[in-house]
Amino acid sequence: MFAKTQRNNLTQGTAVVPKKKDLVRRIIQYKYFYLMFLPVFIFTIVFNYIPMAGIRFAFYKYNPFAPPKFIGWENFKTLLVNPKFIAAFKNTITLSIVNLVLGMLVSIIFALLLNELYNKYFKSFVQTVLYLPHFISWVVTASIFYLILSPTDGFINQILGFFGIEPIYFMIEEKWWTPIYYFINRWKETGWGTIIYLAALSGINPELYEAAVIDGAGRLKQTWYVTIPGIMSTILVVFILNLAKVMNIFESVFVLQNPMVLNVSEVIRTYNYKVGLLQSDYGYSTAVGLFNSVISMVLVIIADKASQKIKGSGIL
């Protein structure tokens, strides 16, 4: 942009300007931009790249009374046989994947139902209500459900009590915690999840429906042969994008878990927080974090390649 006029002036001269000079000139020309980029640059270095250098801690043994000792891959050997870590790994995968699949299914169904509404005002009203919980923080969400599911005076147990059912300890019984976790996630994110499918639905060419009607397709057939294929690429893209985030599951679990349900609710990042910051085992917990980061990175790269195949552009 800025270089354009300048370069035109340069090439209008008789002599050919040497490349190097041109580069220096352009750098000088863009000096303000480098200045503008400086804060971003500093932030990135400090908050992203300096911690990356900190992954070397994963290869050290820390103890409070001696200098850190280099122990190579020892921490990784420890964690791979640690039953707590293995359980956390399993829970991460289970909770994430089930949540992802449920979330997509429910959101797609709701997007299709919303798409069938003809009254514009009613439609946007429903959407507003469905999006609402997305803006409620996880802490507040957890608070709401802890209060509502409380065994002593929670709303749900009041209703059960009305029918003569004993109070259920929803949040501290393992068999209840997992389904409640999925339900709360749906309550919070279903509406938000429909946005992207609704956008894809509005992009389907109406002529396709007209053609289907002429061919004698009913509403169901139209949905099956026009609507679903029309949003299939979006579904795939959302799926791989979310797959890249499988290891990141954290906040929702962190606020909903409690000591009674650790067996089903401890995920890698909550485990990492506990061994790292509460027990100050820096070496081992950095190894846990690194393990997680590496898996995440591989997933993101795979997702990027897949996305390039499907929609021709990567996710990055």
Q: Is 52 in the site for another protein (CB under 8 A)?
A: yes
Residue (95 or 237) nearer to another protein, CB: 237
Nearest distance, CB of residue 90 and another protein, angstroms: 20
Nearest to 307 by CA among 242, 247, 246: 242
Q: How far is the CB of 149 from another protein (least distance, A)?
A: 10
172 binds another protein (CB under 8 A): yes
Q: Of 117, 204, 208, 217, which lies in the binding site for another protein, with binding defined by CB under 8 A?
A: 117
DSSP 196-223: HHHHHHHTS-HHHHHHHHHTT--HHHHI
User: Dihedral through CA 157, CA 158, CA 163, CA 164, nearest 10?
Assistant: 70
How far is Cα 248 from Cα 251, in angstroms, rounded to an integer?
9
The yes or no reply on residue 73 touching another protein (CB under 8 A) is no
Are the C-beta atoms of residues 209 and 226 closer than 8 Å to each other?
A: yes
Does 105 engage in binding with another protein (CB under 8 A)? no
Q: Which part of the chain contacts another protein (CB under 8 A), choosing from 70-78, 85-93, 96-104, 143-151?
A: 143-151
Judged by CB under 8 A, does residue 145 bind another protein?
A: yes
* Min dist. Cβ of residue 62 to another protein (A): 10
In the complex, minimum distance from the CB of residue 96 to another protein, in angstroms, rounded to a whole number: 18
- Say which amino acid occupies 302: I
Q: Give yes or no for residue 87 binding another protein (CB under 8 A).
A: no
**Does residue 173 belong to the site contacting another protein (CB under 8 A)?**
no
Nearer Cβ to another protein (14/31) = 31
The correct pick among 79, 130, 226, 264 for binding another protein (CB under 8 A) is: 130
CB-CB contact of 88 with 266 (8 Å) = yes
Q: How far is the CB of 85 from another protein (least distance, A)?
A: 15
Tell me which residue of 248, 259, 249, 223 sits closest to 300, measured CA to CA: 248
List all residues 6 or more positions away from 96 whose beta carbon is below 8 Å from its beta carbon. 246, 247, 249
Does 147 sit near another protein (CB under 8 A)? yes
Number of H helices, E strands in the chain: 17, 2
Given 101, 105, 140, 302, the residue binding another protein (CB under 8 A): 140
Could you give the CA distance from residue 151 to residue 153 in angstroms, rounded to a whole number? Answer: 6
The piece of 68-76, 82-90, 186-194, 221-229 that touches another protein (CB under 8 A) is: 186-194
> Does 39 interact with another protein (rule: CB under 8 A)?
yes
3-state helix, strand, coil in the chain (%, to 5): 80, 5, 20
Is 128 a binding residue for another protein by CB under 8 A? The answer is: yes
Position 302 contacts another protein (CB under 8 A)? no
Sign of the Cα pseudo-torsion (57, 60, 63, 64, in order):
negative
Q: Which of residues 69, 219, 305, 309 is near another protein by CB under 8 A?
A: 219
The tokens of 73 are what? 């891959």
Query: Residue 258 interacts with another protein (CB under 8 A)?
Result: yes
Among 17, 23, 101, 211, binds another protein (CB under 8 A): 23
- Distance (Å, whole) CA 52 – CA 57: 10
Determine the straight-line distance between the first and last CA of the chain, rounded to whole angstroms.
Answer: 24
Binder among 80, 86, 105, 136 for another protein (CB under 8 A):
136
Does position 215 interact with another protein (CB under 8 A)? The reply is no
88 binds another protein (CB under 8 A): no
Rule CB under 8 A: is residue 276 a binding residue for another protein? yes
